[in-house]
Chain A
Amino acid sequence: MKKIAIVSIIDDDAFFQYATKKMLELSNKVEHILQFNDGEEAIRYFIENKDEPDKIPDLVFLDLNMPYMDGWQFLDKFIVNEFKKDRITIYICTSSISKLDLEKSANYPLLKGYLIKPITKAEFFEKLEKELENDSLLD
């Protein structure tokens, strides 16, 4: 059975990290889970490994509200870098139900989706399936 090589969770909320990791493990569709508590940690990792496709996550769950570098700032830095990877799927995962945030996300076409916390197991599994489908389409 095919699996997603690397899924990354970027969130400062300890419980969200814990719960998401649990679900991803439970799905049995993910090889590696890469966890970052802040946008800055994440982008540093991405830039450091931009020429190594095997280390760059295939799927990213990105929180918006983080104390040091938030999701927007992460995205701003992300889009100005080139990564040696054909496809990096990014989902926003936020507790914000603010229209402003939703509207702002439209400015980043690379975003695959906008998930509002709490996110159910079913939602996560659906995204994983979709990712695998797209992956196989490419193959």
Chain B
Amino acid sequence: MKHKNGLTAIGYLITLLGILVVIGWVFNILILKAVFPGFATMKINTAICFIALGVTFNLILTGKSRSIYLILAGFAFLVCLLSFLQDILNANFGIDELLIADNGNFLKDSLHPGRMAPTTALCSFLIALSLFILNNKRWNIFGQYILHFVSLITFIAIVGYFFSVPTLYKLVYLPSMAVHTAIALFIFSIAISMVNPYLGITGLFTGDRIGNQMVRRLFPKMIIALFVLAFFGIEAHRYQVIGEEFGIVLLALSFSFVGLILIWDTATLLNKIDHKREDAENEIRLNNENLEKIVIERTADLKKSIETQEKLNNQLLEKIELVEQQDQTIEKIREFKFLADSIPQIIWTTKADGTVDYYNQYWFTYSGLTWQETTDQGWIAVMHPDDLEKYLVAWTKSFTTGTSFESEYRLKRGSDGVYKWHLGRAQPMKNEDGQIIKWFGSNIDIDEYKKAIELQKRIAQFEDFNRIVAHNLRGPAGSIQMILAMMSESESDTEKAELFVMLNQSSATLNETLNDLMKVLEVRTNNTLPYDNCDLTEIVAGVEAMLTGQIISKSAKIYTAFEAPSIKFPKIYLESIFYNMISNSLKYSKSDVPPEIRITSRFANDKVILTFSDNGLGIDLIMHGNSMFKLNKIFHRGFDSKGVGLFMTKTQIETFGGNISVESKPNIGTTFTIEL
């Protein structure tokens, strides 16, 4: 509740006033009873009711002792109502001087001494009534207007005192309300109406709106101004300074003037408030605009900073990735080195320019060299001198063409000086643009493998030899034995003659086979024969010369394409190989198609691959594949074949470290591939 303390004080004042007036009556103190001599007194009943109502009000404000205040208010209500009824009904209930006799009442118009004025009684019981319904939500508006009515009546009484117009405080025939009663009731009624400040007219004064402010400001001043002007007007009129009519006009004029000033003042205030409001609004708008601007700016800033942050983040991520990549690269290099060092084979790498920049541990273990000894072509000392040239040719070729390198060579073992065969291989590592940035190489020890191959070859040769002895030598030899046995048993001369012919044949066969065998052995024992630098074109020309007759009669064509122009091989054997290949192609050609023989050569790592292709009869490899290069095997009947040529060719090739293989389809042609 607003102004609770003030209201409580008014409650106490009312109570105090009642007590003072009771004291006045008890001790007969006039000033307490009537304030001014000759004025109406506040009756003792009124004073007691004031005490009851004041206490009631304070009790209501504190919200305590509901039963007590109901009794007190009820008491005041009854006393006042009875007093009022006495006046209306013109009766005497004997309550007026029940306590103290009103001897001091000298007023002529007071018919009933000690009786409170009817207006006082009315106002008091109305106040009591309003107190009953003060906190009743449904009826308090009614109570409010009762209070306003009390305020109005007491105001009139006060005005009457103020302007000394008894009619106003006396209400013609009735005893007048005492001045302090009127003031007290006026204040009290207003105070009680303040308990419900938003109800009735009180609401007009107590609100927070600008209108309420205006009312609060303007109304009291107007009243005061009007009263002051009216007071002077009346006084002037009483002292005959001005006439009545002039007084009224003057009042009207002066009030207009004062009213204007008051309104001016109020308007100024209102304008000020309006300005303030406008300023505040402007400020708010400005603030809003600023705020918007700030928001936009801040948003832009924020966006910028987010972008910057993102950029930074991305850069950071890139850097992290880069670092991770580097880490991975380092890790990979470590892994590679660990792996390479753990392999019991030689691993090496070179830079793009071919200089060695890495050897694994095994290289140092094997060669017995240090890094200082092995760099700058220190490895040359390790390689077998006979293999160096072949190696350099192959490496130079790979290095210049950027193709993979493969070569076989012997490397000297540091611990005992023994040369061991190695298979060297290297692959170029290229960057995204296809440029070689590194070579990765390995030297695998193939000494055992080579020995095994050599052994296998020897076994195969031995088997061949065994077969030749078993079949080709023992056959005719056995026949001769049988023939001789039969001859000795035979009694017929004709039979003996027949047997003799056969003896000759078998003997010739035996002789031939022995010769072939001798040739084979010759080749094999010639395995230390020096390698010649054989010009392939020259060799083909020589063979062509030997076979001119057949070439012309069969209209044969020989085409050559020598990528590798020359081969290192014993010349007599290479000539023999070419002779056998070409003569076979001429011999086993289709009768109705002129033979076309194509001879090619190409490099393959440190070897040369020769191919001989023809468009001849072809060979049924399903049937003869296993016996292609065996002695006395033939693949075409009716050609007076001996089955020696391919056998010899193979012997010659294999003796000098080469290989021969065949591909063929009957009636299409045959291709022999020779690797030397």
Contact = CB atoms under 8 A, between A and B. Distances in A.
Chain B interface, >50% SS class: helix
A99 to B, nearest CB: 9
A69 B637 CA distance: 10
Nearest to A77: B623
A101 B476 CA distance: 18
A85 interface: no
Nearest to A97: B470
A101 B471 CA distance: 11
B3 to A, nearest CB: 132
Given A65-B472, A67-B633, A117-B478, A98 B467 contact: yes
Contacts of A100: 463, 466
B471 A19 contact: no
Nearest to B471: A65
B471 A67 contact: no
B470 A67 contact: no
A129 interface: no
Interface in B461-514: 463, 466-467, 470-472, 474-479, 481-483, 485-486, 498, 502, 505-506
Interface string B350-388: 000000000000000000000000000000000000000
Given A19-B483, A68-B637, A95 B471 contact: yes
A112 interface: no
Contacts of A69: 623
Interface residues of B, number: 30
B632 A67 contact: yes
A65 B513 CA distance: 14
B265 to A, nearest CB: 139
B503 to A, nearest CB: 8
Contacts of A14: 502, 505
Q: Which of A16, A67, A94, A100 has the most CB of B within 10 A?
A: A67
B470 A15 contact: no
Interface residues of A, number: 26
Nearest to B506: A15
Contacts of A108: none
A38 to B, nearest CB: 7
Contacts of A96: 467, 470-471, 474
Nearest to A70: B627
Contacts of B28: none
Contacts of A95: 470-471, 474-475, 477-478
Contacts of B476: 13
Contacts of B633: 67
Nearest to B489: A121
A97 B477 CA distance: 13
A22 B486 contact: yes
Contacts of B73: none
Contacts of A49: none
B428 to A, nearest CB: 48
30 contacts: A13-B475, A13-B476, A15-B482, A15-B502, A15-B506, A18-B498, A18-B502, A19-B483, A22-B486, A38-B637, A40-B637, A64-B471, A65-B467, A65-B472, A67-B632, A67-B633, A67-B634, A67-B643, A68-B637, A69-B623, A73-B623, A95-B471, A96-B467, A96-B470, A96-B474, A98-B466, A98-B470, A117-B478, A118-B478, A119-B482
